[in-house]
């Protein structure tokens, strides 16, 4: 773990909900949510990619909204409801990724799943139908170096159709 | 380092009282967390204001808008009042980054960091926006244009907090354009970013406010470009001449990791000409 986050003063008692389970940890206030999940809580579904907000690998939902766990300090996750790719409600997406080969090396996959879920839920809430362009725009912050994206886009469209 | 998680504006201002250059305000974290991770000298005080309700929200004020410093790019995008008064700002907010960034990145943070490549700042310049600063000494307002003083430098005193951004009412008939050029459409930092607000009287440019980012050490008004257009009929030749003036006289770009000075000059002129032609209803030259 990196030092500026770790030397951010007296620890706080953090209580949050991760994938429906109440969790707590005593951590420096600016420790990254990513490190809280992976190191303090041993919940390793969320992966670290770039660690600087560029790649989307660590995307989680915080209170239902997509956020990058590498840029969220622990003090801002106090009382939050966090959803990772290990949570409930990803069945259709997982099936879609399996069917198309949308998951290959796997480092981007948890972030893709979470970002795709946020996208599908937002579209459903707005009553709009996702198409290829909308999926590509919605996942534009998530980098994949294996698939060339086509398989991922197809997977998300399959899951979106299933969700409607 | 000391971190204060403020629950009210008063608590935030109290924490900042007497603060020096080692104090930083934390809002959405999309700038500060990256800086902390990059191993730059750590601040000695961080005041987290994200939970301060008084700094949230967008409301109508004085015929225009008061946008709370904590309004995120997603908030700005989804707001009907912004669409009405400050469409230019909504366009800029759309281009800031991917969804997960837009959900956290705030207008106060974009302005406070004052990166020369900030996307919202040229839009605020072109809109003639003002910024409201609060400290335990009181409240003051100044033009966003005067607030941004240099490379990642602002007129904010160390004990001041950006409370809100004020956008004046939309002048009737004003046309606006925003253009960003980056390496890719999502999640990229601008190589050139421009914002235009033009009052048209028939085909004549009665008033022009133009700003650009990433072409100087800070966001700048394009004074030579505006001069070359003031009171003129907007035809292809006038537009091309003004765009050349912007590249030659207004821009002072440098080579850096994202682009070269030469590229920025050429692209600035082309983007300005295309945006202005569009806005004047001319076919692009």
CA distances from B161 to A101, B15, B247 (A): 49, 11, 35
Q: Give the structural domain span for B271.
A: 177-279
- Contacts across the A-B interface (CB distance below 8 Å): 95
What pLDDT is stored for residue B120 in this prediction? Answer: 97
Q: Are residues A10 and A42 in the same domain?
A: yes
Taking an 8 Å cut-off on Cβ atoms, the answer to whether A8 and B1 are in contact is yes
Cα A157 to Cα A101, A148, A151, B98: the distances in Å are 13, 16, 10, 19
Phi, psi of A85 (to 5 degrees): -65, -10
The closest alpha carbon to A91, from A99, A79, A101, A81, belongs to A99
Residues B210 and B135 in one domain: no
To test the contact with chain A by mutation, choose from B46, B99, B257 the residue with the greatest count of A C-beta atoms within 10 A, namely: B99
Whether A16 and A43 share a structural domain: yes
Q: Which domain CATH number covers B116?
A: 3.30.465.10
Which among B109, B111, B104, B107 is positioned nearest to B90, based on CA atoms?
Answer: B107
Q: Do A73 and B30 touch (CB under 8 A)?
A: no
A66 interaction partners in chain B (CB closer than 8 Å): 99-100, 103
Question: How many domains is chain B partitioned into structurally?
Answer: 2
Contact A8, B1 (CB under 8 A): yes
CATH of the domain at B245: 3.30.390.50
- Low-confidence stretches of chain A (pLDDT < 50) are none
- A74 and A105 inside one domain: no
Domain membership flag for residue B78: yes
Instruction: Note whether residue B25 is domain-resident.
Output: no
Nearest Cβ partner of B3 from A32, A75, A137? A75
Regarding whether A97 and A64 lie in a shared domain, the answer is no
Numbered residues of chain A with Cβ closer than 8 Å to any chain B Cβ: 2-5, 7-9, 12, 29-30, 32, 51-54, 56, 59, 65-68, 70-73, 75-76, 78, 115, 118-119, 137-138, 140-142
Look at B37 and A67 and tell me if their CB atoms are within 8 Å. Answer: no
Domain range for A159 is 91-163
> Would residue B188 count as lying in a domain?
yes
Q: Do both A44 and A62 map to the same domain? A: yes
- Domain boundary residue, one of B141, B167, B193: B167
* Residue-level pLDDT at B258: 81
Interchain contact, B26 vs A72, CB within 8 Å: no
Q: What is the tally of structural domains in chain A?
A: 2
Last residue in a domain, options A83, A108, A134: A83
Q: Does the distance separating the beta carbons of A7 and B42 come in below 8 Å?
A: yes
Q: How do the pLDDT tens digits run along chain B, 285 residues long?
A: 999 999 999 999 999 999 999 999 999 999 999 999 998 889 999 999 999 999 999 999 999 999 999 999 999 999 999 999 999 999 999 988 899 999 999 999 999 999 998 999 999 999 999 999 999 999 999 999 999 999 999 999 999 999 999 999 999 889 999 999 887 766 678 889 999 999 999 889 999 999 999 999 999 999 999 999 999 999 999 999 999 999 999 999 888 888 888 999 999 999 999 999 999 887 655
Q: How far apart are CA A133 and CA A141, in angstroms?
A: 14
State the CATH number of the domain containing residue A28: 3.10.20.30
Whether residue A47 is found in the same domain as residue A72: yes
């Amino acid at each position: 773990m990196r030092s500026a986050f770790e030397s951010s003063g007296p620890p706080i008692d953090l209580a949050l909900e991760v994938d429906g389970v109440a969790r707590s940890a005593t951590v420096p206030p600016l420790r990254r949510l990513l490190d809280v999940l992976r190191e303090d809580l041993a919940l390793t579904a969320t992966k670290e990619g770039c660690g600087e907000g560029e790649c989307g690998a660590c995307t989680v939902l915080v209170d239902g909204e997509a956020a990058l766990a590498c840029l969220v300090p622990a003090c801002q996750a106090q009382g939050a409801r966090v959803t990772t790719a290990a949570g409930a409600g990803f069945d259709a997406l997982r099936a879609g990724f399996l069917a198309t080969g949308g998951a290959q090396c796997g480092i981007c996959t948890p972030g893709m799943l979470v970002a795709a879920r946020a996208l599908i839920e937002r579209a459903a809430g707005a009553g709009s139908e996702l198409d290829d362009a909308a999926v590509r725009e919605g996942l534009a912050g998530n980098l994949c170096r294996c698939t060339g994206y086509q398989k991922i886009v197809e997977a998300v469209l399959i899951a979106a159709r299933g969700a409607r | 380092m000391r971190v204060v998680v403020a629950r009210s504006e008063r608590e935030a201002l109290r924490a900042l009282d007497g603060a020096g250059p080692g104090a930083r305000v934390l809002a959405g974290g999309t700038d500060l967390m990256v800086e902390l991770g990059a191993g730059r000298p750590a601040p000695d005080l961080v005041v987290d204001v994200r939970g301060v309700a008084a700094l949230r929200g967008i409301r109508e004020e004085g015929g225009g808008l008061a946008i709370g410093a904590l309004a995120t790019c997603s908030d700005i995008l989804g707001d009907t009042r912004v669409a009405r008064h400050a469409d230019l700002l909504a366009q800029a907010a759309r281009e800031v980054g991917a969804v997960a960034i837009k959900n956290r990145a705030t207008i106060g943070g974009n302005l406070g960091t004052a990166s020369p490549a900030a996307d919202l700042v040229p839009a605020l310049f072109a809109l003639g926006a003002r910024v409201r600063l609060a400290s335990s000494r009181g409240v003051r307002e100044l033009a966003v244009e005067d607030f941004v003083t240099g490379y990642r430098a602002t007129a904010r005193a160390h004990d001041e907090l950006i409370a809100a951004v004020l956008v004046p009412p939309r002048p009737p008939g004003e046309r606006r354009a925003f253009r960003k050029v980056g390496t890719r459409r999502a999640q990229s930092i601008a190589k050139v970013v421009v914002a235009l607000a033009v009052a048209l009287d028939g085909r004549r440019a009665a008033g022009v406010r133009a700003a650009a980012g990433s072409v100087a050490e800070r966001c700048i008004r394009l004074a030579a470009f505006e001069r070359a257009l003031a009171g003129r009929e907007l035809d292809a030749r006038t537009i091309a001449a003004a765009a050349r003036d912007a590249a030659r006289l207004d821009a002072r770009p440098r080579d850096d990791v994202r682009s070269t000075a030469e590229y920025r000059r050429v692209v600035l002129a082309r983007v300005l000409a295309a945006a202005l032609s569009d806005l004047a209803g001319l076919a692009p030259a």
